[in-house]
Amino acid sequence: MPTDTRDRILTATAELFRAGGYHGTSLKQVTVASGAPIGSVYHFFPGGKAELAEAVLASSGASYRALFELIADAAPDPVAAVTDFFDGAATVLEETGYLDACPIGTVALEVASSDERLRHATAAVFASWAEAIVTRLTAAGLDEATAGDLATTLIAGIEGVHAQPRRP
> How confident is the model at residue 5, as a pLDDT?
95
For residue 35, is it left (φ>0), alpha (ψ between -120 and 50) or beta?
A: left
Per the structure, the complete domain to which residue 49 belongs is given by 5-163
CATH number of the domain residue 20 falls in: 1.10.357.10
pLDDT tens, 77-94? Answer: 999 999 998 888 888 777
> How confident is the model at residue 2, as a pLDDT?
54
As a whole number, mean pLDDT of residues 47-60 equals: 95
Is the pLDDT confidence value at 3 over 70? no
98 found inside a domain: yes
The whole-angstrom separation of Cα 55 and Cα 58 is 5
The number of domains in the chain is: 1
103 found inside a domain: yes
> How confident is the model at residue 52, as a pLDDT?
97
The whole-angstrom separation of Cα 137 and Cα 78 is 7
Top mean-pLDDT range of 35-44, 83-92, 99-108: 35-44
> How confident is the model at residue 88, as a pLDDT?
87
Average pLDDT of the chain is 89
Residues 6+ apart with CB under 8 A from 83: none
168 found inside a domain: no
